[in-house]
Amino acid sequence: MDKFKWKRQVILGLIALLLIVTALSGCSNSSESEKTSGGKAEDGSLSLSYWVSNNRPDTLKNYNEMAAYKKLEEATGVKVKFDHPASGEEDQQFNLMMTSGKLPDVIERIWTSVPGGPEKYIKDKKIVRLNEYIDEYAPNFKKILEEHPEWKKMISTDEGSIYSFPFLRQDELNLTFYGPVIRKDWLEQLDLEIPETIDEWHTVLKAFKEQDPNGNGENDEIPLLIDKDAITSNAFVGAWGITNGFYHIDSVVKYGPIQPEYKEFLSLMNKWYEEGLIDKEYVATDDKLKDAKVTNDQLGALMGYSGSSILRYMQLKKDDPDFALTGAPYPVLKKGEIPPFNLAEVNYNGVGAAITADNENIEETVKWLDYKYGEEGFRLFNFGIEGESYEMIDGYPTYKEVITDNPDGKSMSEGLAMYVPAGWSGPFIQAKEYAEQYNNLPEQLEALENWKKGSNERAMPLVTPTQDESSEYASIMNDINTFKSEMINKFIMGEEPLSKFDDFVKTIESMGIDRATEIQQNALKRYNDR
């Protein structure tokens, strides 16, 4: 019996030992699983989870493939797992994420556009107020804010909170990249100057229509393309000192489409449309059709970018030695006037990387993000790997041919995307030298000089309505914007007579535009008081 008892005790002991080993194994696996979502590994290395839209899905499946982030991991020892929301579903996925139980360590997005503004998410304990952390753990970024107090105002909330490590543009050259684009070779062929006034634009567009500048003997030229939402016509409506949305005069906020000058603008657009100077198919013209109209030598003028329009079209038409584009200044009513708008961006466009309240390693994450604002990080995220994507020539970081003349036929923007996010945004400062080299064609440089001529003093800064204001404002403006876009196109195409403009204004007023303007006014005052 004693022998049997002894055997039973041994067996029970082995079973207990097996259960302990299994439990420990489970704990180990659980720990491994938790590390993938962010935190510190056993060796002390930091792992972060990072949510951000993929701006170049055509080139990168994931930002982990980008050379700058690979090099950053080598330099800092911090591993990052990027999570990219599906294209077109960013806002929906962001909202779902914010109501879920678990947040990633870092969220990068346009924070100035979130409902209620970023201060709401600080108060809701979703993201962290960074002011004290920056003072203590971010010497590079702290120095930049001390050198640029105007940037600090832009990136703070009305309450003074810094909520993200922002994307900032270094120089005026980085801010200007969009404006009126026109066929320079057609102008030269017809002995015309680049138009500056509304009247000069009318003369040029009429010549494009009537004098066969593409030389094919057919009347197939399309003088001007605007888009269906009339956004591109901001360039032309600006000649009257107003915009298609909100603007301010000496800090008094106004809404452009209900001003008397807007009727004059619509009258001009309708006249040009009736004369065949505006593309009759502009409402149905998407980017693909626009490209075809440019490359088929039909389109004379459009609104476009220095890179994706001028540079890209010049590359697509490189076999045509006569093809040339340039940028025209934003139009004015009288010769010699300074355009009141030029649609230039401000140094901060709202994009930034916020640290969430679920992040268990805030200090280390702040240090990691701060690296990008030092000299090494600045070069890394603008130019990539020295000796591979750029080289220093007389102290100037110069892109190599893998970027400027890619052997695989990639465009410059595609080549850049493999190395750096300088072509779009992120938590770093975009270098002047990037803009100088990205806009290196004479046609691009001429365009930038012409587009910079506006004062932009009436443009609204990135104001932030409160949470309550934001919900009310969105409710009002969603309906107004839908109605406005529909009616603008009807006025331009003559489907509605301009004699009904006063009714158009009254309808917008009845939809609550005065309250929306008041919200913008209050937000502007808070911004000015920062």
Is 122 within 8 Å of 130 (Cβ atoms)? no
User: Could you give all domains of the chain from N- to C-terminal order, each with its CATH number?
Assistant: 46-174+347-430 (3.40.190.10), 183-343+455-528 (3.40.190.10)
Q: What is the mean pLDDT of the chain?
A: 91
Q: What is the pLDDT of residues 142-184, one digit of tens each?
A: 999 999 999 999 999 999 999 999 999 999 889 988 999 999 9
Q: What is the pLDDT of residues 79-117, one digit of tens each?
A: 999 999 999 999 999 999 999 878 999 999 999 989 888
- Distances in Å between the Cα of 187 and the Cα atoms of 200, 295, 464, 476 are 12, 17, 44, 44
For position 503, what pLDDT does the model report?
A: 99
Q: Which residue has the tokens 């753990």?
A: 137
Compute the distance between CA of residue 420 and CA of residue 434 in angstroms, rounded to an integer: 11
Which pair of structure tokens corresponds to residue 419?
């190395």
**Which DSSP letter does residue 513 get?**
H
**Which DSSP letter does residue 400 get?**
-
Rounded (10°) angle between helices 260-274 and 501-510: 130
- Distances in Å between the Cα of 409 and the Cα atoms of 41, 294, 335, 405 are 41, 21, 44, 8
Compute the distance between CA of residue 506 and CA of residue 504 in angstroms, rounded to an integer: 6
Taking the complete model, does pTM exceed 0.85, yes or no?
Answer: no
The dihedral formed by the CA atoms of 467, 134, 63 and 70, expressed in degrees to the nearest 10:
-170
For position 440, what pLDDT does the model report?
A: 87
* First-to-last C-alpha distance (Å) of the chain: 88
Average pLDDT, stretch 20-24?
39
Q: What is the pLDDT of residues 368-383, one digit of tens each?
A: 999 999 999 999 999 9
Identify the helix (H) or strand (E) that includes residue 415.
helix 412-417
Q: What is the pLDDT of residues 188-220, one digit of tens each?
A: 999 999 999 999 999 999 999 999 999 999 999
Q: Is the dihedral of CA 426, 432, 436, 437 positive or negative?
A: negative
Is 28 within 8 Å of 39 (Cβ atoms)? no
